[in-house]
Every structure is written in C-alpha cells, then in structure tokens.
Amino acid sequence: MLFYLGGLIFAILPSYLQHKNDANWASLGASGAVSAVLFAYILFQPWKLIFVFFIPVPAIIFAVLYVAYSIWAGKRGNTHINHSAHLWGAAYGVIVTILIEPRVIPHFLDQLTRL
C-alpha cells in the first residue's frame, strides 16, 4: 500500500507543480500509481503475459509500447489524460523497486535473455 501511495504522489507531483495555478486543470494520479505497480511487476516477470483487451502481450513488450505511447500522446496533447503521470509512475516503480531489491537488476537481465 505504501508503494502504491508513494507512486501516486510521485506520479502526480511534477504535473501538479506545472499546473498549480491553472484552475481548469485536474488530475488524480491513480493511473500513475498503477503504472508504478505494473512496472515493478515487469522487473520481476518481463516475459509473463499481460492481457490488453484480451490480447496476450509479453510484459516487457507492453512496457516499451506503453512508454512510447505515453510520450507520443503527451506531446500531442488535448487528450485530457495526464500521460506524464503514467511516465513518472513507471519511473517510480522501477527506481523504488531497484532500491528495495537491488538483486532485481541481474534477475531482470537474466530473464530478458531467456525466451
């Protein structure tokens, strides 16, 4: 629960600071917290399947596509979705997981070499 809440705060903080004087801007950051948990999971199980609209996708492939889409959509704008929160949440998930469990790095790299 603390990991999730930390991800929520970390994900929303940059956007909040950027838009704090904009009365028309609103964001919760919950999807950023979900990104944190998801990317922590991906470090441990990069080849496990994640079902996206009932389509099985390896977690590591999903991660790359998710980050690419979030960057692209964030630059496009006008979606009313805080894509930067998704990216910051993902970053939090990776960074904090590595800080908590440094052995995840060699584990992740080892898993990547196994198809």
- Out of 15, 31, 35, 84, which one is annotated catalytic? 31
Active-site annotation holder among 15, 83, 84, 86? 86
- Paired strand residues for 51: 56
Return d(Cα 40, Cα 57) in angstroms, integer.
17
In the residue annotation, 31 being an active-site residue is answered as yes
Q: Catalytic amino acids?
A: 31, 86
